[in-house]
Amino acid sequence: MENPLETLSLDGGWLCLDFVNTVSARRPEQGTEYLNTWSDFQLWVRRVGLFAEPEWFTWQALPESNIEEVRAFREVLYELFEHVTRTGALDPGHLDNFNSLLHEVYPHTQLCLTENGLQRGVSDAPHPERPLWLIALSAEALLLGDRMNRVKACDNCGWLFLDTSKNGTRRWCNMQTCGSQIKARAYYHRKKDENVKM
Protein backbone atom coordinates (compact mmCIF):
# COMPACT_ATOMS: atom_id res chain seq x y z
CA MET A 1 0.00 0.00 0.00
CA GLU A 2 1.21 3.48 -0.83
CA ASN A 3 2.35 5.57 2.09
CA PRO A 4 0.06 8.67 2.29
CA LEU A 5 3.19 10.79 2.76
CA GLU A 6 4.18 10.12 -0.85
CA THR A 7 1.29 12.21 -2.12
CA LEU A 8 0.71 14.40 0.94
CA SER A 9 -0.53 17.91 0.11
CA LEU A 10 1.95 20.60 1.02
CA ASP A 11 -0.42 23.47 1.71
CA GLY A 12 1.32 25.05 4.70
CA GLY A 13 3.32 27.49 2.61
CA TRP A 14 6.10 27.41 5.19
CA LEU A 15 8.32 24.51 6.23
CA CYS A 16 7.36 24.33 9.91
CA LEU A 17 3.65 24.51 9.03
CA ASP A 18 3.94 21.65 6.53
CA PHE A 19 5.63 19.72 9.32
CA VAL A 20 2.70 20.41 11.66
CA ASN A 21 0.36 19.12 8.93
CA THR A 22 1.58 15.53 9.15
CA VAL A 23 -1.69 14.26 10.59
CA SER A 24 -4.67 13.94 8.24
CA ALA A 25 -6.68 16.56 10.16
CA ARG A 26 -6.74 18.60 13.36
CA ARG A 27 -10.49 19.20 13.36
CA PRO A 28 -12.92 18.17 14.66
CA GLU A 29 -10.29 15.97 16.30
CA GLN A 30 -6.82 14.75 15.41
CA GLY A 31 -7.00 12.52 12.35
CA THR A 32 -4.67 9.81 11.07
CA GLU A 33 -1.06 10.02 12.24
CA TYR A 34 1.39 10.07 9.31
CA LEU A 35 4.64 10.00 11.28
CA ASN A 36 4.49 6.55 12.83
CA THR A 37 8.07 5.47 12.22
CA TRP A 38 11.44 7.03 11.53
CA SER A 39 11.17 5.91 7.91
CA ASP A 40 7.91 7.88 7.65
CA PHE A 41 9.87 10.93 8.74
CA GLN A 42 12.54 10.15 6.15
CA LEU A 43 9.85 9.98 3.50
CA TRP A 44 8.41 13.31 4.60
CA VAL A 45 11.84 14.97 4.50
CA ARG A 46 12.15 13.77 0.92
CA ARG A 47 8.60 14.85 0.07
CA VAL A 48 9.19 18.46 1.17
CA GLY A 49 12.51 18.54 -0.66
CA LEU A 50 14.43 19.62 2.41
CA PHE A 51 17.65 18.20 0.98
CA ALA A 52 18.88 17.73 -2.55
CA GLU A 53 18.55 14.08 -3.58
CA PRO A 54 22.19 12.97 -2.98
CA GLU A 55 22.19 14.73 0.39
CA TRP A 56 18.93 13.00 1.30
CA PHE A 57 20.43 9.58 0.53
CA THR A 58 23.38 10.31 2.79
CA TRP A 59 21.08 11.53 5.54
CA GLN A 60 18.61 8.64 5.38
CA ALA A 61 21.49 6.15 5.76
CA LEU A 62 22.33 7.64 9.18
CA PRO A 63 21.21 5.83 12.34
CA GLU A 64 17.56 6.32 13.24
CA SER A 65 16.59 8.83 15.86
CA ASN A 66 13.50 8.81 18.05
CA ILE A 67 10.21 9.31 16.19
CA GLU A 68 8.37 10.04 19.43
CA GLU A 69 10.62 13.05 19.93
CA VAL A 70 9.89 14.15 16.39
CA ARG A 71 6.16 14.06 17.13
CA ALA A 72 6.63 15.85 20.47
CA PHE A 73 8.64 18.53 18.66
CA ARG A 74 5.82 18.85 16.13
CA GLU A 75 3.16 19.24 18.80
CA VAL A 76 5.09 22.06 20.48
CA LEU A 77 4.96 23.91 17.16
CA TYR A 78 1.30 23.06 16.60
CA GLU A 79 0.28 24.37 20.03
CA LEU A 80 2.29 27.55 19.57
CA PHE A 81 0.92 28.48 16.14
CA GLU A 82 -2.59 27.13 16.62
CA HIS A 83 -3.05 29.34 19.66
CA VAL A 84 -2.08 32.35 17.57
CA THR A 85 -4.63 31.48 14.87
CA ARG A 86 -7.37 31.42 17.52
CA THR A 87 -6.41 34.34 19.74
CA GLY A 88 -4.06 36.50 17.66
CA ALA A 89 -1.46 36.31 20.44
CA LEU A 90 1.36 34.08 21.58
CA ASP A 91 0.96 32.09 24.77
CA PRO A 92 4.00 32.57 27.06
CA GLY A 93 3.92 28.91 28.16
CA HIS A 94 3.96 27.72 24.55
CA LEU A 95 6.82 30.10 23.85
CA ASP A 96 8.75 28.65 26.80
CA ASN A 97 8.35 25.18 25.28
CA PHE A 98 9.59 26.41 21.94
CA ASN A 99 12.53 28.17 23.57
CA SER A 100 13.53 24.88 25.20
CA LEU A 101 13.65 23.32 21.73
CA LEU A 102 15.63 26.24 20.34
CA HIS A 103 18.06 25.93 23.21
CA GLU A 104 18.90 22.40 22.03
CA VAL A 105 19.02 23.40 18.38
CA TYR A 106 21.14 26.54 18.59
CA PRO A 107 24.48 24.81 19.27
CA HIS A 108 24.06 23.17 15.85
CA THR A 109 23.47 26.47 14.06
CA GLN A 110 25.76 29.12 12.67
CA LEU A 111 25.59 32.35 10.73
CA CYS A 112 26.03 31.68 7.02
CA LEU A 113 26.75 33.97 4.10
CA THR A 114 24.06 33.26 1.51
CA GLU A 115 22.83 34.84 -1.72
CA ASN A 116 20.23 36.62 0.41
CA GLY A 117 22.77 37.97 2.86
CA LEU A 118 23.70 36.79 6.30
CA GLN A 119 21.37 34.13 7.67
CA ARG A 120 21.24 31.66 10.50
CA GLY A 121 21.65 28.16 9.14
CA VAL A 122 22.61 24.72 10.42
CA SER A 123 25.98 23.07 10.26
CA ASP A 124 26.62 20.86 7.22
CA ALA A 125 27.84 17.80 9.10
CA PRO A 126 25.41 14.88 8.58
CA HIS A 127 23.25 14.29 11.64
CA PRO A 128 19.94 12.40 11.99
CA GLU A 129 18.24 15.40 13.58
CA ARG A 130 19.38 17.95 11.06
CA PRO A 131 15.86 18.27 9.54
CA LEU A 132 14.50 19.19 12.97
CA TRP A 133 17.05 21.97 13.32
CA LEU A 134 15.96 23.37 9.96
CA ILE A 135 12.31 23.14 11.00
CA ALA A 136 13.08 24.95 14.27
CA LEU A 137 14.82 27.76 12.38
CA SER A 138 11.89 27.93 9.99
CA ALA A 139 9.55 28.42 12.98
CA GLU A 140 11.86 31.04 14.45
CA ALA A 141 11.94 32.96 11.17
CA LEU A 142 8.14 32.90 11.00
CA LEU A 143 7.82 34.13 14.58
CA LEU A 144 10.30 36.95 14.09
CA GLY A 145 8.94 37.98 10.68
CA ASP A 146 6.01 40.26 9.90
CA ARG A 147 3.55 37.61 8.72
CA MET A 148 2.35 36.03 11.94
CA ASN A 149 -1.08 37.58 11.34
CA ARG A 150 -1.22 35.48 8.16
CA VAL A 151 -0.83 32.15 9.96
CA LYS A 152 -4.24 30.51 9.88
CA ALA A 153 -6.02 27.24 10.57
CA CYS A 154 -8.15 25.68 7.84
CA ASP A 155 -11.88 26.11 8.54
CA ASN A 156 -12.48 22.55 7.47
CA CYS A 157 -9.59 20.33 8.63
CA GLY A 158 -7.61 22.54 11.00
CA TRP A 159 -4.32 22.27 9.10
CA LEU A 160 -2.18 25.35 9.55
CA PHE A 161 -1.08 27.49 6.63
CA LEU A 162 0.46 30.81 5.77
CA ASP A 163 -2.08 32.90 3.91
CA THR A 164 -0.24 34.52 1.01
CA SER A 165 -3.40 35.66 -0.78
CA LYS A 166 -3.47 39.32 -1.76
CA ASN A 167 -6.27 40.36 0.60
CA GLY A 168 -5.56 37.81 3.32
CA THR A 169 -8.96 36.15 3.24
CA ARG A 170 -7.99 32.55 2.56
CA ARG A 171 -9.92 30.22 4.87
CA TRP A 172 -8.85 26.74 3.91
CA CYS A 173 -5.63 24.85 3.41
CA ASN A 174 -6.62 23.79 -0.08
CA MET A 175 -9.45 25.04 -2.27
CA GLN A 176 -9.92 21.71 -4.05
CA THR A 177 -10.14 19.53 -0.97
CA CYS A 178 -11.34 21.62 1.97
CA GLY A 179 -12.71 24.70 0.20
CA SER A 180 -15.17 22.73 -1.87
CA GLN A 181 -16.31 20.69 1.14
CA ILE A 182 -17.09 23.84 3.10
CA LYS A 183 -18.91 25.39 0.15
CA ALA A 184 -20.97 22.23 -0.32
CA ARG A 185 -21.90 22.26 3.36
CA ALA A 186 -22.83 25.96 3.27
CA TYR A 187 -25.03 25.26 0.24
CA TYR A 188 -26.70 22.37 2.05
CA HIS A 189 -27.43 24.51 5.12
CA ARG A 190 -28.75 27.34 2.98
CA LYS A 191 -31.07 24.95 1.19
CA LYS A 192 -32.24 23.55 4.49
CA ASP A 193 -32.99 27.06 5.79
CA GLU A 194 -34.93 27.86 2.65
CA ASN A 195 -36.97 24.69 3.06
CA VAL A 196 -37.77 25.57 6.66
CA LYS A 197 -39.02 29.00 5.63
CA MET A 198 -41.35 27.55 3.02
Query: Can you give the binding site for Zn ion, defined by CB under 5 A?
Result: 154, 156-157, 159, 172-173, 178
CB of 187 to Zn ion, least distance (A): 18
Considering the complex, state which of residue 23 and residue 154 has its C-beta at the smaller distance from Zn ion.
154
Closest CB 161 distance from Zn ion, rounded Å: 8
CA distance 38 to 196: 53
Torsion of the alpha carbons at 132, 133, 138 and 143, rounded to the nearest 10? 110
Give the whole-angstrom CA distance, residue 196 versus residue 26. Answer: 32
The answer to whether residues 158 and 29 touch, using CB atoms and an 8 Å cutoff, is no
Burial of 2 (0-12, 13-18, 19+ CB in 10 A): exposed
- Which residue, 59 or 172, has its beta carbon nearer to Zn ion? 172
Nearer to Zn ion (CB atom), residue 44 or residue 172: 172
In the complex, minimum distance from the CB of residue 157 to Zn ion, in angstroms, rounded to a whole number: 3
Q: How far is the CB of 173 from Zn ion (least distance, A)?
A: 3
Say what the alpha-carbon torsion angle 94, 98, 99, 105 is, to the nearest 10 degrees. 170
Nearer to Zn ion, 80 or 157 (CB): 157
Q: Which is nearer to Zn ion, 9 or 99 (CB)?
A: 9
Min CB(186)–Zn ion separation in Å? 15
CB of 152 to Zn ion, least distance (A): 10
Which residue, 25 or 95, is less far from Zn ion as judged by CB?
A: 25
114 — phi, psi (to 5°)? Answer: -125, 175
H-only helix segments in the chain? 15-20, 38-47, 53-60, 67-87, 92-105, 130-144, 180-197
